[in-house]
Structure 1
Amino acid sequence: MSDTGPALRLRGISKSFDGVRVLRGVDVSITRGTVHALLGGNGSGKSTTLKVVAGVYRGDPGGVVEVFGTPHPADSFSPQQAHRAGLRFVHQDLGLVDDLSVAANFGLVSGFPQRLGAVRWRALHERTARELAAAGLDIAPQAPVRALRPSDRTRVAIARALQDDDGGHPLVLVLDEPTASLPHHEVDELLEELRRRREQGHTIVYVSHRIPEVLAVADDLTVLRDGVVAYSGPVSGLTEDHVIAMMTGLAAEQAAPAARTPRAPTTAAPLLRVSGLCTAGLGPLDLEVRPGEVVGVAGLLGSGRSRLLGLLAGQVPRTSGSVQLAGREIHHRSPRAALADGVACVPEDRARDAAFPDRPLWENVSAIAFPRYARWWGADRRAERRDAVKAAAGFAVHAAHGEVPFASLSGGNQQKAVLARATWTSPRLLLLDEPSQGVDAMARRDIHSFIHRHVDGHDRAALVVSSDFVELAALCDRVLVLRDGRLRAELTGAELHESAIALAVHQDREDPR
């Protein structure tokens, strides 16, 4: 491992899929011992670049991935070579097993010390304790991962990636959207951890859509747009507006999501009325959503916010209580039954719960409406494909053609495709869990616009769960705050801003009502 030169250098990195060139001669040089941010809109080539660096994708011939002075041809670089070269990765899905202890999660990567075929748990706990202490984490090795705060989970994943298995040499740590699911008050803790790792000599490649975080922690940044480098240089002197303009090619005000104009109070009968609703970890709960409303649901992890959507979507069984949609009692026992009643859900984890990754884009969009193309002689797949491609285009999904595998789309395009599918049957109640998590400014603007378009002027409404309080304030007419499975506050009017939502979410005392 050379002691001079950049930690990571990409030279002439290109990548093509089915004749479509996604990356076109990307050149980036990342200085040792710095935090270097990598930004780009959905479809910019950012994710493809990371996968080439990780050896998951083979680059086109001629490109070079140089790590600590050692060049590697991009068209033959493998994950094993990336690891040996000193590259470490922590993805947005941290790869931690919730039901295992912290020590066992470390052992999954570094191996389990054994004697006579039996795991030496004491040795594993001692080794893990040293790594946790070195990371400044006051966490017991025996602690179950599911009991950790979100920021501590991320810090544990970082500590696991940087285990001293490489002779103590500084490493290149690539973090992909590490703060996407963190509450805002825990983000600062993670950024401080990155600064500490930088001081230890490690090099951090930081991927995020949250531009203020990038400006706060990064020394340098590279912006990709349409598969080429739009900017690569120091952060000093840049503003958020500068970065947005480089990412999108538009002025910042054009890229910003349009704020929701709160609806005037209405005397219309509620579209959704929930009374005394209970299930494990939720309730009793009473709430109403009126036609044309976008109602936000805020709360910390474990507050019951996602469980509420799951219950309304027929994914979680109800133990008691009443749910009425447009005045009619509904009792969904499956997502199919909910959909038949006009309730559609976009889940938080689209890759796991809302996608067929290896199937083409058009099949992912049309899956919800397949029965309408059934004929006596079979399925009219030609009409189904035509309509699905049209629906995807209506939601600004950017793809070379309808046959593109869903997994090859950028995160923002995947999310818009899932939203196109959810709204295909014009559901009366649209349930959205973290609808713009991990997408860029332009995709977020599109998604907000589509949600407003779906409910405005129709007998429809949307219920939105989000960890992003700025998003809730911009998108919603009202915000409901859950804590310990109960409704603790309702924010409207002048209260509907980021700081008020954050205060209500983290407030320990109960609403006296």
Structure 2
Amino acid sequence: MNEQTATNLTEVERARRVALAVQDVSKTYGATRALDRVSLEVTGGAIHGLMGGNGSGKSTLIKMLAGVVTPDEGRLSLKGGWIDARSHTPARAKASGLHFVHQQNSTFPDLTVAENLALGRGFESTAVKSINWHAQKARARQVLDRFEIDVAADAHLVRLSPAAQMMVAIARALQDQDDTDERGVLVLDEPTASLPKHEVDVLLTALRRYAADGQTIIYVSHRLEEVTAITNEVTVLRNGCVASRLTGAEISHDTLVAGITGSSPSSKQGGSRRSNDVIASRVHLSQSAGFRETALTLSRRTPNGTTDERLLVRAGEIVGIAGLLGSGRSRMLKQIFGATPRDDFDVTVRSGTVPPSDMRTAMKRGLAFVPENRLREAALPELSIAENLSITSLSEHSRVGWIRPARERKAAQRLINEFGVRAPSTRAPLTALSGGNQQKVILARWLQRRPDVLLLDEPTQGVDIGARNEIHELVRAAASAGTAVLVVSSDFGELAALAQRAVVVSGGEVVDSVDGPLTEDILNDIVYAQEKAL
């Protein structure tokens, strides 16, 4: 065997091991280069991490793989055959064995597991074309057994744990993949974004099992600890380009941070003083006012006519709300703000009481609320960045009832600069921004009102480490200027990093409190101890 033949055999063997390859793919939107000659190789049976900051090109690359975005140039190889990436379509993606479970889960919580699985491929039917429920449940049980998901086929999805719901979504995506054929590629986009820590561990264990059985997985996540724990290889994107490729022992917290941000973790220490100074100038509390006066009180009326204080937050304090999914933690924030009815407790702020189900009065009383699902509950996606910023302060940009666009855009540009929003212009739609920059727009929208109380629900869900640090800095700056902050997060590490103390919520009630200094382990231990006791 000559050297050339040996080289050719090596290339053939390598090609057989590569389940998916992308070569020199580019995509431009106007003046923005979303992907710049990106190349990627995913080894068959590996868990391949795809990482990068918001705006790095991850979403564009995933959409290209799904066939819903057409690149300007490049090639794509699935199961060994190269095609022009511009000819890739959703139908070809499916036929080639590409399966996707997106961050916004498309399962239906009010339907059963069997019904959710059927929506992925069609219902079993009788000879007269009615649904054969017996056959449908039997087939669902086969799928559940195959993926080792210990739930009942007739259980409603809403009653399952978050990890089990995600595994059902994965099983639905892969259910028609024949075990005897070459496995396809499963793309998971932020699968743990809303999962608490113990549920993350359950899901990661399942994914390791699937990969050991030969399933190739592309794992997209902002959570560095998960990527270091589960992946065999990683591709990091930055500014539309491949910043680094890592395998095996090369994958570490520091190498991932360096790839994502372009600098070592140590260079990020210390933060920026600018946003602290800017926000302090925008918040009306002065140092002389003192930060220890009570800014928010939740109290419950007892049968004997006394008042039982459930929660008290002082000016300048950041208080975390810890609890498992379904504990009522998010509902509590909505009740405080008046977005959800309440009748079992009273809300008092420095300017007076806040009536239930009255968001307008809550805003007048100095409350601000950033909900968990920004796209559905906070953003106006098709409106411009300027319009999204001005929606909470229209009176400042209007005259005799008419909006003054020039004034609105000028104010928006000032906020963009002050809050470090990376945006092409104030006229661009909010959807043109990355997730982290969208979240900073929502924060800026509220902080320009100089709130007494800021309610945050999952403030960094689905954003990269750079944006997460910037958002944390903005929150700390608001608190240092006197705003009381009440924050909910599924990531107890985030609560430990942000909050001076925390309360534990279960069943919509405050059942415990934890004074600082906080750690993720302390919060985990207390939350699960409370759940076990209840």
Where do residues 69-468 of structure 1 align in structure 2 (5 Å cutoff)? 69-115=80-126, 116-165=128-177, 168-169=180-181, 170-255=183-268, 268-276=292-300, 286-326=310-350, 328-376=352-400, 378-458=402-482, 460-468=483-491
Task: Calculate the TM-score normalised by the size of structure 1.
Answer: 0.92
Whether the 8 Å CA contact 2:343–2:356 is kept in 1: the answer is no
Q: Could you list the per-position Cα deviations for residues 252-308 of structure 1 after superposition, in whole angstroms to 9, with x for gaps in the alignment?
A: 13446979xxxxxx8943111111079xxxx98711001111111000012111011
Whether the 8 Å CA contact 1:92–1:176 is kept in 2: the answer is yes
Task: Calculate the TM-score normalised by the size of structure 2.
Answer: 0.89
RMSD: 2.4
Alpha-carbon distance between aligned partners in 1 of 2:115 and 2:98, rounded to the nearest angstrom = 22
Gaps of 5+ in 2: 1-12, 273-289
Q: Sequence identity of aligned pairs in percent? A: 40
Alpha-carbon distance between aligned partners in 2 of 1:149 and 1:197, rounded to the nearest angstrom = 19
**Structure 2 residue matching 1:119: 3-state secondary structure:** coil
Question: Quick one: which amino acid aligns to residue 325 of structure 1?
Answer: V
**Structure 2 residue matching 1:131: 3-state secondary structure:** helix
**Structure 1 residue matching 2:456: 3-state secondary structure:** strand
1:506 pairs with 2:518:
no
Whether the 8 Å CA contact 1:47–1:410 is kept in 2: the answer is no
Question: Quick one: which amino acid aligns to residue 477 of structure 1?
Answer: Q
**Structure 2 residue matching 1:271: 3-state secondary structure:** strand
Alpha-carbon distance between aligned partners in 1 of 2:44 and 2:21, rounded to the nearest angstrom = 11
Task: Tell me the residue number matched to 2:34.
Answer: 22
1:6 pairs with 2:18:
yes
* Count of residues in Structure 1 that have an aligned counterpart in Structure 2: 499
Alpha-carbon distance between aligned partners in 2 of 1:69 and 1:203, rounded to the nearest angstrom = 14
Whether the 8 Å CA contact 1:125–1:142 is kept in 2: the answer is yes
Question: Quick one: which amino acid aligns to residue 119 of structure 2?
Answer: L
Alpha-carbon distance between aligned partners in 2 of 1:295 and 1:190, rounded to the nearest angstrom = 29
Alpha-carbon distance between aligned partners in 1 of 2:67 and 2:308, rounded to the nearest angstrom = 50
Q: Per-residue deviation at 1:390?
A: 2.2
Alpha-carbon distance between aligned partners in 1 of 2:470 and 2:155, rounded to the nearest angstrom = 41
Q: Which has the larger radius of gyration?
A: 2
Task: Tell me the residue number matched to 1:262.
Answer: none
Gaps of 5+ in 1: 260-265
Whether the 8 Å CA contact 1:39–1:207 is kept in 2: the answer is yes
Alpha-carbon distance between aligned partners in 1 of 2:506 and 2:50, rounded to the nearest angstrom = 36
Q: Could you list the per-position Cα deviations for residues 47-99 of structure 1 after superposition, in whole angstroms to 9, with x for gaps in the alignment?
A: 11111111121111x21222112333333322222111110011112211111
Q: Per-residue deviation at 1:322?
A: 2.0
Task: Tell me the residue number matched to 1:478.
Answer: 501
**Structure 2 residue matching 1:28: 3-state secondary structure:** strand
Whether the 8 Å CA contact 1:179–1:187 is kept in 2: the answer is yes
Which structure features the higher share of helix residues? 2
Question: Quick one: which amino acid aligns to residue 241 of structure 2?
Answer: V
Whether the 8 Å CA contact 2:322–2:488 is kept in 1: the answer is yes
Task: Tell me the residue number matched to 2:10.
Answer: none
**Structure 2 residue matching 1:89: 3-state secondary structure:** strand
Alpha-carbon distance between aligned partners in 1 of 2:519 and 2:77, rounded to the nearest angstrom = 46
Q: Could you list the per-position Cα deviations for residues 187-244 of structure 1 after superposition, in whole angstroms to 9, with x for gaps in the alignment?
A: 2221121111112222100011111211111111001111100112313233211210
Question: Quick one: which amino acid aligns to residue 499 of structure 1?
Answer: D
